[in-house]
Structure 1
Amino acid sequence: MKPTPNIFLLLIFFVLLLANDSSAQEPPFFQFKDDEWVTQQLEKMSLEERIAQLMMITVYPKQNEASKAIYKKRIQQWKPGGILIMQGSPAKTADWINQFQEASETPLLVAIDGEWGPAMRTDSTIVYPYAQSLGAVQDSSILYQMGHDFASQLKRMGIQMNFAPVADINTNPFNPVIGFRSFGEDKYSVAQKSWMVAKGMQDNNVIPVAKHFPGHGDTKTDSHKTLPLIPHSKSRIDSIESFPFRYLSNRGIAGIMSGHLNIPSLDDSGKTSSLSKKVVTDYLKEEIGYKGFVVTDAINMKGVVTGPGRAELEALIAGNDMIEFVADAGKAVATIKEAVANGEISEDEINEKCRTVLALKRWVGLNEYQPTSVADITADLNAPEYQVTNRKLIKQSLTVVVNNDSTLPVQELDKRTIATVNIGGAQKSAFQSMLAKYTNMDHFWLPKDATEQTWANLRQKLDNYNFVIAGITGINKYSSNNYGISEIQKKAVIDLVNEQNVVFSVFGNAYALKHFANIHHADALIVAHQDNELTQKLAAQLVFGAFKASGKLPVTSDRRFKAGDGMEVNPNQTFSYTIPEEAGMSSAILNRKIDSLANLGISEGAYPGCQVMVAKGGQVVFHKCFGFQTYDSIYPVNMDNIYDWASVTKVTGPLPAIMKMVDERKINIDDKFSKYWPDFIGSNKENLSFREILAHQARLASWIAFWTMTVQEDGTLDRNVFKDHPSSKFDIRVSERLRMNHDFRKTMFDTIRTSELVPRKKYLYSGLSFYLYPDIIENLTGTPYESYVKNTFYKPLGAQTITFNAYKHYPLSQIIPTEVDDFFRMEKMRGYVHDEGAAMMGGVSGNAGLFGSTTDLAKVFQMYLQNGYFGGRRYISKATINEFTRIQYPENENRRGLGFDKPMIDNDENELEDAYPAVSSSKSSFGHSGYTGTFAWADPDNGLLFIFMSNRVYPTRNNSKLYELNIRTAMHQAIYDSIISE
């Protein structure tokens, strides 16, 4: 049997580890132990002051000014070497640090417990994933970046030391204090990941302190409350518990924290390991060879077992260089000074430890201390580059442990009726909201305390669906009380597996999997490790294939789910949703410029509201709504609003069908158009080619106002054509109150047939042929046009809001109104197509008539941008897409593709006000605009997609400010301006 690739990697890792085991590297601060500044500081200190340098007291910036005054007095009186920051806001924390540094004669070493970043102790900052989540990540380089981020954030706050990473190997699933704080149960993974995080900080001049030596992973009790026992032999501890610390020592980590543990095999006296010379000096420093800084875990913890008032002294005697969480540093200093006098500890030992602390301060630059600026600190700590790291970590941690029949990514959306369930929550979750961006689905929830009857009622509703996506939420971080999982949650999982095609995403501790009896029989199972909004959103994207799944379980839950389990699931080129920086764009520029232009349009009355969406490389990086549906400012624009797409219909309705039929050889665009529309035979249009017509080069008239043909001398509509009530003959609904005689449709076609051609072939935009395509498509496919485009394109794309005659499918409140028609239909157009000609086609036409959401329009255009492929399915061949989106007749100054609009000839030479679209748009870009104020544009060279939606025709089409202000072009250019050059 051949070793698996993972075994090969572990063997290589182990060989490299042994090769580096010969001697521990000196930590970087070592170079400053004999530095002039260090020596000067040491020489000017009294013995008491040198001892005080070995003390770290704790401060709580969350507290009030009176508390701050007490802390400041202690710093001035006790002169501790450092402070440990606990709780507070970024600005207040930084301000307090500044004041405490000012009060201290020697710069303070400021530390924090930042295992998942500053957020562990500071509010309003990014919460990076817990270590267990990171244990699932296979690309450790991103952990290095996280460590680098930590360092940048901590330095921004004035903090120089981080009591992280946790290097404990969690071999005990019931560990009450480590658990999710550990990278996992595999010693190689824990060692490597610990080093990558530590190195990321250390390379950026922040002191990492790995904890809790020699290993807190296999304990049954919490050292905060009692002294945990490590019952293993020394050989076992050498092989497992201390392995990561040995690895870190060999690489020169700056700091290690001694844990409060009872380890008889290392010290059979019962002494706490942090106070044991046998553990700290003999084992860590001499046997392992560690040359760096050693600090105790919090000395006030219940796991510290010693005589009254002697903990700090015994910690120093044991070999620690510094003690943290010292409650009474004054008393500790006095006790230690007395011990120096009676010979329990030498002054040379105190001096050496003090020199180590001062060397650390010198290495981090405290010799040239400058206070940190408090201005904009919260924004700085949440900078986009840190958010990008966080997103990458979460994505790479998501672990697929079941994927029967390649259920993931979920595809074939046209064949699924989907329900989502939040198992453990009382409302729609972020997971469900993100899932809804991919296709139509209904949402349900089952609270943790739901009754059996509530679940029974929900099960009955779920019978109406053939596919369920369930997120399991409300799982606790710690193992007590079965991770907080309720009986109804367990039952819901059992029943769903037995009764449904179901995908689960478990938002919580991987160990919790053991409590779901048959979850391994689900169609697919994602372990998302944590329960927060961003993790839920990214897990939802993974369900539909937005990015690759690569995570591996860091721990063993039970025999079904073992450490190392996890399968790769490849992406399928659907949309992902992220921030601009992850796509190489500036959120500051994008937000500032687009917001400004969108609001300018509103303030100038170009439209009552608009919606803007931007994607790059298939990543949606911007989607915002501005203003209101109408000028009365009652109903805000929202992302679920349905728009009348107007002429954008041309390239999203008939055009994809035509392209598909070109692929199927049902249409040859170099044939005569009359081959497909025989009515043109014998007319002046008999010899027009399909290509010329699609490129607006065929001499067709621009448009015909068909409705005006029915206006009588008195200004009223011909009663033989229109009535205000339906009948068997008047069955074409034009608006809420108006019905048209279906015979007039033939009159419209005849009028197109007999219309005059312009004198010569040149570019002249014409919508006339688009009235004919629905019938051509039906004739060639044997399927009605509307059914064909919905079932062939929109439903499989998950673009199920796209429809004709929106009034049939959506409440009017969801549909953005267009014009108040005061010349033909005499009604406000809402849900009925704005275009009069399309309305006379019953709302189902090729020139106009489509309605839909911004997101769903983007799906169609992203499919084009991806050469006819989207979400795991090919709709149109790359060759056909390329042919339709290229300029057809450039020699004739015609910029058009086949159906698609293109940039103006020599567009890149124009000024912004004369360009169409953006000056920076590539020659390969393409798109279309709509009369109602819609616009969609794709740029293959830059991977960019721009969607703009508005109802600029409300309440009248006579409003041309959208064009006069050049808003869409300016927005489009702003997108290019936001791209960060490499």
Structure 2
Amino acid sequence: MKKIGIKIVFSYVLFIFVAAGCVGTKVNKNKTIVSTGPSKIENLDSINTTNIPKLFDLSPEGNKWVDSLYNTMTLEEKFGQLFMVAAYSNKDSAHSNAIEKLILDYKIGGLIFFQGGPVRQAKLTNRFQSKSKIPLFIGSDAEWGLGMRLDSTYRYPWNMTLGAIQDMKLLEKVGVQMGKQSKRLGMQFNFAPVLDINSNPKNPIIGFRSFGEDKFKVTERAIAVMNGVQSQGVFSTGKHFPGHGDTDTDSHKKLPIINSSKERLKDIEFYPYKKMFHEGLASVMVAHLSVPSLEPRPNFPSSISYNVVTDILQKEMGFHGLIFTDALNMKSVSNFKLPSEINFEAFMAGNDVLLFPENVPAAIDKFRLAYSLNLFTDERLAFSVKKILKFKYKAGLNTYKPIVIENLYNDLNALENDALQYELYENAITVLKNTSAVLPVKNLDKQKIAYVKIGDDSNDDFLSTLKKYAEVTEIEETNLDSLQAKLQPFTTVIIGYHKSDVAFRNDDLKSNELFKINFLAKNNTVILNVFAKPYSLLPITNFDDIEGLVVSYQNSSIAQIVSAELIFGSIEAKGKLPVSINDSFKVNDGLPTEKLNRLGFTTPENVGMNSTILSKIEGIANKAINAKMTPGIQVLVARKGKVIYQKSFGYHTYDKSIKVQDSDIYDVASLTKILATLPNVMLQYDQQKINLETTLATMSPIFKDSNKANINFKDLLSHYAGLAAGIPFYKATMDKSKSPSEVYFRKVAEENFSKKLGDSLFIRDDFSDTIMKMIVDSKLSVKKEYKYSDLTFMILKDYLEKTTGKTLDILIQENFYRSLGMNNSSFNPLNKFDKNRIPPTETDTYFRRQLLQGYVNDLSAALEGGVSGHAGVFSNAMDVAKIMELYLQKGNYGNQQYFSEKTFEDFNTCYFCAVGNRRGVGFDKPQLGTEGPTCGCASMTSFGHTGYTGTMAWADPETQIVYVFLSNRTFPVAAENRLSKANIREDIQKIIYEAITD
């Protein structure tokens, strides 16, 4: 009796409360809703939607399903469908049990998932769906992908980053991927895209979530994303109606006020909605805003305003999709009334789904009581509930199936995501200043580049990628005067402003950071690259001293890589600014930059390759390392001018003390022939100083009276001249005890003994003359046949040095390496590089009697002081790839023509294939029959070389592939070549060709 009495009293109080107009509605005798705004009667079913396509109509079967289900539902089940409750997959069992209770006892219609993980969420979704008589709506705020809420899932760029992209097909791709991933996780709604026109730079809650400040551009991008999402059977939700862009208040904390006139709102804020309604936008989320021009009641949230939700959104604008409230736990609305009252107010305003209600039991009690007091009609309830059921049918929930957990993680993190991410940043990154064409950086041989970091987030990928293009020195110094002193020798200073990519973090420039930028810009040629939202530039009032200004928008790994590509010209700038920066830069500002044909970086899928197949390379590399065929390996694959695979395996030595890094430098052995000697010879050929018929006697007078005088250039470079494979030059330098003779060697450098071939071992400077005399006097084969010979390139080295007056190590740097950006390549690397970057090649127990680390392994090359035509270069895979790409582009790299296409074609021709000699002019060529250096799958136009230390460089014009393999298989001793016998290099090459998809 006591409980009944309390209920009667509560009902009476509530009735008085409602009758006084406190919930914003009245009831007439026909149970028709009466707005307390305009004094007229409106039935929601009478809303005029004739101007909007009937995109959400169901088939007769669909309507039958909706009607039959609705007719079987209890009143409580109908009330429950209106509620979409917050759920988390990172909370304890108490939370999940509470959700389950709401499903069982209060028949809620849906869940909006927040933080957690994908597998945990999927398992909870399956559990909750199994408990619900009517399948639940599952949704999430996934504005930039599932990664906005869930760990272990993919995160796409923010809307403001996408706002810089001009290709709408790319944004539709983003929507497709987000739709696929949402559907795979059992979701029907992605509460995106944001349609707010962010006209206020100080907006604390929208900002980077908006596509920009231009209504046309925002609309165009939102439509593209929506079309992609909805093409996958997932519904998009435009938000936050009537427009959250022009405010400096966070609606999570208090109610923002929008003081715009209705005319301005209709012209600007409503524009995306009107367009998207005609394009099929499924749902709209109504914000908690105070908009006096739309709702005259002071500080009255738009989300519970009949004027906004019904009169304007549905009646005036003709929207007939689902209408969600913004989260009803937000302070901007939850502070306004009690939770139970807010839910009812939102429903009476015309919303269909009440998102994130705080107290469902109390809210449903309120609905039950209001219904009993005739505060709303059966028609009003049916209007929203049937609409909800209609969308459940369209989402396929009438034939609901549980989420398949198997392979969920892999499906949500498919390789195609990274492929798209590269495309997005390639199209988004924006150049705002380019004084004197400082971008892209050219003339690398004349540049000295420094990098200075500002900001508190990682810069690893940016700096490491910059260093793949040129020698870039990072300068760290807190004192500005000391910093400037260190920067004096540099021609260009790249400043990277790196701020965390975590959402909603303040990334505005601090005063000391601003001062530092201004100081460096006044005293140096500066390229400022901003890895933060463009609004971070607002504190800079004068950009005059900044030569290059790049906005990269975010500090993600791929953004950093792509931005470095842009600086060095492997991609061109395409992005346009989506917002204004004071009076300095306006919407749509963005300068194009020149594209230089330098190697860039992307995923295999973007160049017609399969990542999964390429991943098999790792197994072969590790097989070689585990079998001790070599302690470490570098592998690089490029296609169509893009590096798509670059990995290092193993260690410098078998004691596993130093892991191999991509920047480590290997003795490339015979690759020296095509990396140093041949390109310089091609220059001579290109300048018509020699031709294919030029004889040795003409090239080098020392051969005039020898048996080699009439050997022509073509035969010489094709290994068809009958030269001996090699000569044991070292024997001439040994004494009777078979030790290095004091006649030829010193333990310390002396006059005429300056060429170093090991620790405490220097050879006579003139021994190269002895080597050449021994070559001149050597025998030739009687029979003209193919015989590979190192002597060819030793002869060519002598020719080049005597013709040019410069040593080969200087020639290659001046003519190629510096301008190509091969800053990790050198003869005698200990003169330039840290020893710890150089894996040792061998423990020489015979001649030098020491560990060879940084000294050329080949003894003949060592006797020339480490600089020979056939061996001596140390390099890493990235640098080797550059010169192979130069060849692939027939003499052109970085838009610089080093030699003519004809010269390359002449050298890449196999002139003696018909007689069983596969060699080109200097280049090795693929198999003839079963004999050759490749997998047998490379085209006959392909070319390259292999090296004794376990190296290979190969390029194929037909498939546009560059393949580089470096190792130190000769460590600790150069015994049986097990790496070669096991076909490790060839098997990896075979995988590369198997991975080609187009």
Equivalent residues in 2 for 1:768-917, closer than 5 Å: 768-906=791-929, 916-917=933-934
Q: Which residue of 1 aligns with 2:603?
A: 579
Q: Which has the larger radius of gyration?
A: 2
Equivalent residues in 2 for 1:11-160, closer than 5 Å: 23-28=51-56, 30-31=58-59, 34-160=62-188
Distance across 2 between alignment mates of 1:787 and 1:615: 28
Total equivalences in the alignment: 947
Secondary structure of the equivalent of 2:150? coil
Matched, 1:276 2:305: yes
Q: Offset of 1:725 from its aligned partner?
A: 4.1
Secondary structure of the equivalent of 2:758? coil
Secondary structure of the equivalent of 1:949? strand
Distance across 2 between alignment mates of 1:22 and 1:541: 51
> Do the aligned partners of 1:53 and 1:80 also contact (CA within 8 Å) in 2?
yes
> Do the aligned partners of 1:629 and 1:637 also contact (CA within 8 Å) in 2?
yes
Q: Equivalent pairs: percent with the same residue?
A: 37
1:831-851: CA deviations, max 9, x gaps? 111111111111111111111
> Do the aligned partners of 1:777 and 1:785 also contact (CA within 8 Å) in 2?
yes
Equivalent residue in structure 1 for 2:244, among 216, 222, 225: 216
Q: Offset of 1:137 from its aligned partner?
A: 0.6
Q: Which residue of 1 aligns with 2:481?
A: 456
> Do the aligned partners of 2:310 and 2:350 also contact (CA within 8 Å) in 1?
yes
Matched, 1:173 2:196: no
Q: Which residue of 1 aligns with 2:192?
A: 164
Distance across 2 between alignment mates of 1:370 and 1:923: 53
Equivalent residue in structure 2 for 1:614, among 637, 649, 653: 637
Distance 1:357 1:949, change over 3 A: same
Q: Which residue of 2 aligns with 1:978?
A: 995
Q: Offset of 1:946 from its aligned partner?
A: 0.9
Equivalent residues in 2 for 1:531-546, closer than 5 Å: 531-546=555-570
Q: Which residue of 1 aligns with 2:586?
A: 562
Distance across 1 between alignment mates of 2:649 and 2:530: 35
Give unpaired runs (5+ residues) of structure 2.
Answer: 1-48
Q: Which residue of 2 aligns with 1:952?
A: 969
Distance across 2 between alignment mates of 1:570 and 1:29: 51
> Do the aligned partners of 1:476 and 1:484 also contact (CA within 8 Å) in 2?
no
Q: Offset of 1:478 from its aligned partner?
A: 9.0
One-letter code of the match for 1:366?
Answer: L
Q: Offset of 1:157 from its aligned partner?
A: 1.4
Distance across 2 between alignment mates of 1:960 and 1:478: 54
Equivalent residues in 2 for 1:710-749, closer than 5 Å: 710-749=733-772
Q: Offset of 1:579 from its aligned partner?
A: 2.5
Equivalent residues in 2 for 1:590-739, closer than 5 Å: 590-591=614-615, 593-739=616-762
Q: Which residue of 2 aligns with 1:15?
A: none
One-letter code of the match for 2:425?
Answer: I
> Do the aligned partners of 1:126 and 1:387 also contact (CA within 8 Å) in 2?
no
Q: Offset of 1:250 from its aligned partner?
A: 1.2
1:227-273: CA deviations, max 9, x gaps? 22222222211110100000101111111111122222222234322
Distance across 1 between alignment mates of 2:488 and 2:457: 21
> Do the aligned partners of 1:422 and 1:429 also contact (CA within 8 Å) in 2?
no
Matched, 1:313 2:344: yes
> Do the aligned partners of 1:475 and 1:484 also contact (CA within 8 Å) in 2?
no
Q: Offset of 1:28 from its aligned partner?
A: 4.1
Secondary structure of the equivalent of 1:929? strand
When structure 1 is superposed on structure 2, of 610-619 and 716-725 the one drifting more is: 716-725
One-letter code of the match for 1:80?
Answer: I
One-letter code of the match for 1:439?
Answer: A
Distance across 2 between alignment mates of 1:844 and 1:232: 76
1:163-201: CA deviations, max 9, x gaps? 100001111111121111110011111111111111111
> Do the aligned partners of 2:752 and 2:764 also contact (CA within 8 Å) in 1?
yes
Q: Which residue of 1 aligns with 2:31?
A: none
Distance across 2 between alignment mates of 1:843 and 1:427: 39
Q: Offset of 1:208 from its aligned partner?
A: 0.4
Distance across 1 between alignment mates of 2:60 and 2:966: 62
Distance across 2 between alignment mates of 1:161 and 1:291: 16
Equivalent residues in 2 for 1:380-529, closer than 5 Å: 380-425=411-456, 429-445=460-476, 454-474=479-499, 483-529=507-553
Secondary structure of the equivalent of 2:293? coil
One-letter code of the match for 2:993?
Answer: Y
One-letter code of the match for 1:247?
Answer: K
Distance 1:197 1:30, change over 3 A: farther
> Do the aligned partners of 1:167 and 1:182 also contact (CA within 8 Å) in 2?
yes
Secondary structure of the equivalent of 1:124? coil
Distance 1:632 1:349, change over 3 A: same
Q: Which residue of 1 aligns with 2:29?
A: none
Give unpaired runs (5+ residues) of structure 1.
Answer: 1-20
1:561-601: CA deviations, max 9, x gaps? 1111001123212122222222222222211x211111111
> Do the aligned partners of 1:802 and 1:850 also contact (CA within 8 Å) in 2?
yes
Distance across 2 between alignment mates of 1:715 and 1:958: 21
RMSD: 2.0
> Do the aligned partners of 1:32 and 1:359 also contact (CA within 8 Å) in 2?
no
1:322-376: CA deviations, max 9, x gaps? 1101122222223223333333321112112111111111111111211112233
Secondary structure of the equivalent of 2:346? helix
Distance 1:426 1:318, change over 3 A: closer
When structure 1 is superposed on structure 2, of 266-275 and 932-941 the one drifting more is: 266-275
Distance across 2 between alignment mates of 1:874 and 1:548: 20
1:910-963: CA deviations, max 9, x gaps? 5xxx66302221111110011111111111111111111111111222121111
Distance across 1 between alignment mates of 2:61 and 2:202: 43
Secondary structure of the equivalent of 1:310? helix
> Do the aligned partners of 2:81 and 2:109 also contact (CA within 8 Å) in 1?
yes
TM-score (normalizing by structure 1): 0.93
Secondary structure of the equivalent of 1:303? helix
One-letter code of the match for 1:893?
Answer: G
Secondary structure of the equivalent of 1:515? coil
Distance across 2 between alignment mates of 1:743 and 1:272: 92
Distance 1:530 1:719, change over 3 A: closer
Q: Which residue of 1 aligns with 2:783?
A: 760
One-letter code of the match for 1:540?
Answer: A
Secondary structure of the equivalent of 1:525? strand
Equivalent residue in structure 2 for 1:301, among 312, 317, 330: 330
Secondary structure of the equivalent of 1:519? coil
1:710-731: CA deviations, max 9, x gaps? 4455434444333444432333
Distance across 1 between alignment mates of 2:518 and 2:754: 52
Distance across 2 between alignment mates of 1:565 and 1:714: 77
Distance 1:219 1:715, change over 3 A: closer
Q: Which residue of 2 aligns with 1:964?
A: 981
Distance across 1 between alignment mates of 2:579 and 2:248: 17
Q: Which residue of 2 aligns with 1:935?
A: 952
Equivalent residue in structure 2 for 1:192, among 195, 200, 220: 220
Distance across 1 between alignment mates of 2:565 and 2:748: 48
Q: Offset of 1:306 from its aligned partner?
A: 5.2
1:597-641: CA deviations, max 9, x gaps? 111111222111111111111211111111111122222222221
Moved beyond 6 Å, runs of 4+: 475-481
When structure 1 is superposed on structure 2, of 334-343 and 923-932 the one drifting more is: 334-343
Distance 1:295 1:883, change over 3 A: same
Distance 1:333 1:426, change over 3 A: closer
One-letter code of the match for 1:572?
Answer: L
> Do the aligned partners of 2:508 and 2:536 also contact (CA within 8 Å) in 1?
no
Distance 1:459 1:724, change over 3 A: closer
> Do the aligned partners of 2:456 and 2:500 also contact (CA within 8 Å) in 1?
no
